Amino acid sequence: MSLYEMFTSKGPSGFGYGATAEQVTQGLKLDGKTILVTGCNSGLGLETLRVLALRGARVVALARTLEKATAACAQAGSGPGKAVPLACELSDPQSVRACVAEVKRLGLKLDAIICNAGIMALPKLTKSHGYELQFFTNHIGHFLLVTGLLAQLTEDGRVVVLSSDAHTRAPRGGIEFDNLSGDKGYGAWRQYGQAKFANLLFAKELARRFEGTRKTANAVHPGVINTNLARNLNPMVGFILASVGPLALKTVAQGAATQVWAAVSPGAAGLSGQYLSHSNVAKPRADANDPALAKRLWEESEKIVAGLGS
Ligand SMILES: NC(=O)c1ccc[n+]([C@@H]2O[C@H](COP(=O)([O-])OP(=O)(O)OC[C@H]3O[C@@H](n4cnc5c(N)ncnc54)[C@H](OP(=O)(O)O)[C@@H]3O)[C@@H](O)[C@H]2O)c1
């Protein structure tokens, strides 16, 4: 496939690589819908907040601090009375639990939850509560948030979890259950891959648990986009990304498309347990389809969360 064909081709959804979040929501009126987005202050999360608000949705906009969330809502043109900015520091279980409690206190019913926030390729092993930080932030933080909010989901509520094609860089077997601290070996990309593999398994197991209901859960690869996510990379790589970005990478507007499509498009209704890319169903690494592995991760995550205290 030539680059031109890749950029312009469309899949069964009618959208493809080049579609933007605005394009996949063209004509949709989301008034009356409430959608929670983590990591709303940067990159794909900020664009997701902007486009959902543009289409009329009330966005429950989460960032590490209330100040960041409030500023993001203003920047996205979704001011007071429309968006609901909240603090949620995913590596701090107390902050996540406080956020869950606040969503419940406000009585918010959620039509979708987009688990967008993430960190990538930390150069050195860093931990929170004894667990490697990418696994803890990207997976455990979202696990705690989503499982805490399940009762807030509407009958046909959708959960969208940002994974990545980098899940293919996870170690053999996907998850090193005996090395979740990283103490027995650490690689910046290996552990990012593992965290993104965990995001994918989480969506799969959630979808299995939703069977028999109208609720759905899917994982997303947004494409490769030059955002703040690259902050931990060698400055030379950052320079190259910034240079080739406009030609070879997706724009932020394109990068936000698949998660927005998964969360609100009628075309994604009923789709569950899938790995999505370019606003279409894609194939993950074969072992990411293993239901026993997904179940094991869920059970291990429950134990981890229980061990964090309340
Ligand atoms: N960009 C890509 O090429 C690409 C490719 C595949 C997958 N993804 C996935 O797409 C998602 C969005 O990434 P992006 O490219 O938009 O990156 P980004 O611009 O760096 O945005 C990441 C967001 O996550 C937030 N975040 C990080 N750590 C957090 C924590 N401990 N608690 C709460 N929020 C936290 C950040 O907040 P701060 O600004 O306060 O740090 C920021 O709002 C990520 O899950 C990433 O893995 C991206």
pLDDT digits (tens, 9 = 90+) for 218-229: 999 999 999 988
Residues 6+ apart with CB under 8 A from 88: 38, 62, 63, 64, 95, 96, 99, 145
| Distance between CA atoms of residues 44 and 38, nearest Å | 10
29-43, 215-229, 231-245, 261-275: segment of lowest average pLDDT: 231-245
Of the pLDDT bands very low, low, confident and very high (cuts 50, 70, 90), residue 43 is very high
Do the beta carbons of residue 21 and residue 49 sit within 8 Å? Answer: no
pLDDT at 192 over 80: yes
Ligand 1 mean position to 117 CA, how many Å? 4
Q: Which residues line ligand 1 (CB under 6 A)?
A: 39, 41-45, 63-64, 68, 88-91, 116-120, 137, 162, 164, 221-222, 224-225, 227-229
| Contact assessment for residue 85 and residue 70, using Cβ atoms and an 8 Å cutoff | yes
CA distances to 130, 157, 260, 265 from 210, rounded to whole Å, are 31, 10, 20, 19
DSSP per position, 134-153? HIIIIIIIHHHHHHHHGGGE
**Exposure on the CB side of residue 44, measured as CA atoms within 13 A:** 31
pLDDT category of residue 310 using cuts at 50, 70 and 90: confident
The CA 292 to ligand 1 mean position distance, Å, reads: 28
Q: What is the pLDDT of residue 1?
A: 67
Provide the whole-model pTM: 0.96
Judge contact between 198 and 135, C-beta under 8 A: yes
pLDDT-based confidence at 105, cuts 50/70/90?
Answer: very high
**Residue 298 token pair:** 């869920």
For the annotated catalytic residues, the residue numbers are 186
Cα–Cα distance measured from residue 78 to residue 180, given in angstroms and rounded to the nearest whole number: 39
Mean pLDDT of 246-274: 94
Task: Please give the number of the atom of ligand 1 that sits closest to the Cα of 120.
Answer: 47
Averaged pLDDT, 21-46 = 97
CATH 3.30.450.20 fits 3-302, yes or no: no
Percent of the chain whose pLDDT exceeds 70: 96
Q: What is the mean predicted confidence (pLDDT) over 209-219?
A: 98
pLDDT above 90: residue 234: no
pLDDT at 233 over 90: no
Can you tell me which atom of ligand 1 is nearest the CA of 220?
A: 7
The whole-number pLDDT of residue 286 equals: 97
What pLDDT does 79 receive? 66
Which of 73, 67, 71 lies closest to 87 in space, CA to CA? 67
Is 235 a residue whose pLDDT tops 80? Answer: no
pLDDT of 245:
67
pLDDT of residue 243: 73
- Amino acid letter at 264? V
The length of the chain in residues reads 310
